Amino acid sequence: MSFAFLLKYVKFLRHIIFLVVKKINDFQNLDKVYTGKFVIGATTPSHDLETEIENSKSISGINENEVNQVVTSFIGSQLQRPPKYSAVKVDGKRAYELARKEKNVLIKEKKIIINEFKILNCSSPVIEFYISCSKGTYIRSIARDLGEKLGCGAYLSELRRTKIGSFC
């Protein structure tokens, strides 16, 4: 093989890699659809099961109608604060690195859009959900915020991304 051929081949491969990376970015910018489960009546520092359950509260006064009312308040454009256990950078470091060192971190809110938020099943304390949202939405933060609005705390116990854009 000649050097000229190898040079052309390397340029061709660079172009292919560029196109693939560009497509990955295009996919990441698409809306997402998730299903999963929240558990109400307790919290965790990470808003999921990666950290220990804490702050248990009674959920005796919370019914499915109240949950559905609160869920509707999430629909539309809003500012969301990512979890402290996230890959968001704060002063050049990942927030989760600082959180693990128990450093107090204030993460800036980001604009997100919740297109759809449905309760599929409500068997207290477990709430099964369906959410269609914009890129950058943290479902763990939705769990946290749902729990705060219900006044009892909540965390994410299961999550599945079922769709990205029009791709299932």
The pLDDT tens digits for 4-57 are 777 787 788 888 788 777 777 777 788 999 999 999 999 999 999 999 999 999
Q: How much is the pLDDT for 51?
A: 93
Longest dimension (CA), the chain: 77
Tell me if 126 sits within 8 A of 38, measured CB to CB: yes
Residues shown for the chain: 168
pLDDT at 143 exceeding the cut of 70: yes
- Assign 103 a pLDDT band (cuts: 50, 70, 90): confident
Among residues 110, 103, 97, which one has the least CA distance to residue 138? 110
Q: How much is the pLDDT for 29?
A: 82
Residue with token string 């359950």: 53
Order of strands, edge to edge, in the sheet holding 126-133?
76-80, 110-123, 126-133, 32-40, 154-164
Q: For residue 54, give the DSSP letter.
A: B
pLDDT at 2 exceeding the cut of 90: no
- Assign 144 a pLDDT band (cuts: 50, 70, 90): very high
- Assign 101 a pLDDT band (cuts: 50, 70, 90): confident
